[in-house]
Structure 1
């Protein structure tokens, strides 16, 4: 056993890692809610597109009351989808800040991007293609205490997120630019594709959250079991 770290001549104990399980649960629940809402919105898209098809085929088969109700449901579903997406983004960022703080304790010099990029990296043009992925990779490497080759799910998550966002941007342009009935129906159906891709990215994001959370919680548990020895135990 190591001598108590507070004795003269021994290094001071490292700052304790902060618990991450709570914020991870928050992030996972938010991502699950986003996925569930996305499935519901996709069903509404399908229903709305079918209604528009009926209008194209036989305008008289759909009453004005049905059109107004469909427009209201379709519009409200889009608002709900946007709100839940924002909540999921906030939850993920809260978790990201917490695990990054722990990762800096585990590997102070192991991060390529400073803290402001934890937010800016997702929004600044061009660099958002790779800065957030670098940040998450560095957190994983710091948490495993070595450059880990086990990053397949991280690569898959990032590819899915990029594709989903690029396709969603196209879908938004189609939706806001749709004026004719056939364009409106096509935009609703394209939104279903966007939702499917976002769902894949959300599922992979949950896996990423769980993997990083588990390894950091293992560090905290090891310290609790073996005591502080001046350095965190290697994973």
Structure 2
């Protein structure tokens, strides 16, 4: 029986199923934000949702109020960085490496002489003398590894620096990205020609143009001669290592010691030519950075 007032609409029909208790809400109660507490579903005051602009800021890609275009940040511009300090450090390291390889060549020649004497008359060579030769050989090998590691690290840093500068001088001179100045050295077989390609393009980009804008030739003999001798030294070193490990007789030690001396002297020549190449390319970049892309004469 209804107690509604006359003329009032009838109460809504009650659906089947249990009804919430008196005073209970039909949905789970939502937490009420407390002063200083940020509700997870609401934006912070002054902070829009992710992907929405701040109040008063234009939407990216949309014009400013009044028809002004939304400014696009300029792309990053590479800047020239002087390779002079790295060039000086490389000159010192390559010089030290040359001296170490000279010492190694002398050690190999000393071992060759001892093995020749052992073959001729084993009794005339004392065991202490042979032990001393082994110690010198081990010392030379350790010094070679240390100088090689330090020189390689600094050389690759310098090589990447001049390659990046070349990109600033002449972006159109390159077919490989600047990352190849580092990665090319670690590719088997590819490291016999890819670094030269990067070096040649960097060399060309670092040469000033003639006053009339035409190509100005600068001899690439320092680059080419260094690369040929360096590749020869690398290949000889790869041949020497397994030969030395297998040498276990006086005859084989004599032969491998002579071959090791040749490898060391080739490495000395490569170090000298590397100094000339590094200093010449650094000088080309210093001149172009100071005087501009056109030569005075």
Task: Supply the RMSD in Å over aligned alpha carbons.
Answer: 1.8
Of Structure 1 and Structure 2, which has the larger fraction of its residues in helix? 1
Q: 1:105 maps to which residue?
A: 168
Aligned residues: 213
The within-5 A match list for 1:156-195 is 156-195=225-264
**Residue deviations 1:8-61, cap 9 Å, x none?**
xxxxxx764211111001111111111111111111111121112222222222
* Aligned-partner SS, 2:173: coil
Q: 2:220 maps to which residue?
A: 151
Partners of 2:243 and 2:283 in 1: CA distance: 41
Where in structure 1 are there 5+ consecutive unaligned residues? Answer: 1-13, 223-231
Q: 1:126 maps to which residue?
A: 189
- Aligned 8 A contact 1:164 1:197 in 2: yes
Q: 1:207 maps to which residue?
A: 276
Higher relative contact order (CA 8 A, sep 6+): 1
Q: C-alpha displacement at 1:221, in angstroms? A: 2.6
Q: 2:293 maps to which residue?
A: 233
Q: C-alpha displacement at 1:145, in angstroms? A: 4.5
Q: Which of 118, 122, 139 matches 1:76?
A: 139
More deviation, 178-187/137-146: 137-146
- Aligned 8 A contact 2:169 2:293 in 1: no
- Aligned 8 A contact 1:24 1:213 in 2: yes
Larger radius of gyration: 2
Partners of 1:178 and 1:116 in 2: CA distance: 41
Partners of 2:218 and 2:86 in 1: CA distance: 26
More deviation, 116-125/157-166: 116-125
TM-score after normalising by structure 1: 0.83
Where in structure 2 are there 5+ consecutive unaligned residues? Answer: 1-76, 210-214
